[in-house]
Structure 1
């Protein structure tokens, strides 16, 4: 993978089009760790409520965002969504490394990245509990 993360920068979440990004992974990372390293989150609002957002761009134009519900998030961590160039399991590890937060880890990869039928993953999660842990 030839992605260059040296030019990683924060961008306003308005710069991301929901048409261009897809859910990639659930990342376990502390809100305060993100805040200390990258500053205040943006707050986005949609039909589901308010979201805390940390949006980023690479020098080649690839973008990704870490999002979680602002109030009472259902999981500890952030949803990672990305543009096409970053949509792979390998890119997830690179993204997490680029955050420069040592305790950040992948909790779950999207079904689409794992290339598994949704019904298989749903059945496995039911048997194993939340997040397949």
Structure 2
């Protein structure tokens, strides 16, 4: 299991997008993320403009918290991760590693819950 204490921010552009997939929905306040981890990166795709907080762990785990910038369909953030971190246990540990007490895991992808 990766070292969750070694969590650090990376630029959104460094995420290997082909290796990242949806893991969980997380209830965490944008301002709380901003205060703890700095300004979000802003990404753009054919669907929307996204606020992104991308992270890496020693040992190769990468993940991102993201949500639509202007019309988010949920109050939380989508958590997407690479295969190294693709499990329900890792999702819970990533939320805890954010160091934001009010952050909570709302749901985990059925693919990761298996």
TM range (shorter): over 0.9
Q: How much has 1:49 moved relative to structure 2?
A: 1.3
Structure 1 outlier segments of 4+, above 2 Å: none
TM-score under structure 2 normalisation?
Answer: 0.96
Question: Please, which runs of 5 or more residues in structure 1 have no aligned partner?
Answer: 116-133
* Rounded Cα–Cα distance in structure 1 between residues aligned with 2:50 and 2:87: 24
Aligned length: 114
Larger relative contact order, structure 1 or 2 (CA cutoff 8 Å, min sep 6): 2
- After superposition, the C-alpha distances for 1:73-100 in whole angstroms (9 at most, x for unaligned) are 0100000000101000000111011000
Aligned partner of residue 5 in structure 2, secondary structure: coil
Structure-2 residue corresponding to 1:73: 72
Q: How much has 1:54 moved relative to structure 2?
A: 0.1
Matched, 1:23 2:11: no
Structure-2 residue corresponding to 1:41: 40
Question: Please, which runs of 5 or more residues in structure 2 have no aligned partner?
Answer: none
TM-score under structure 1 normalisation?
Answer: 0.83
Q: How much has 1:114 moved relative to structure 2?
A: 2.4
Q: How much has 1:3 moved relative to structure 2?
A: 1.6
RMSD of Structure 2 on Structure 1 (CA): 0.8
Q: How much has 1:6 moved relative to structure 2?
A: 2.3
Structure-2 residue corresponding to 1:14: 13
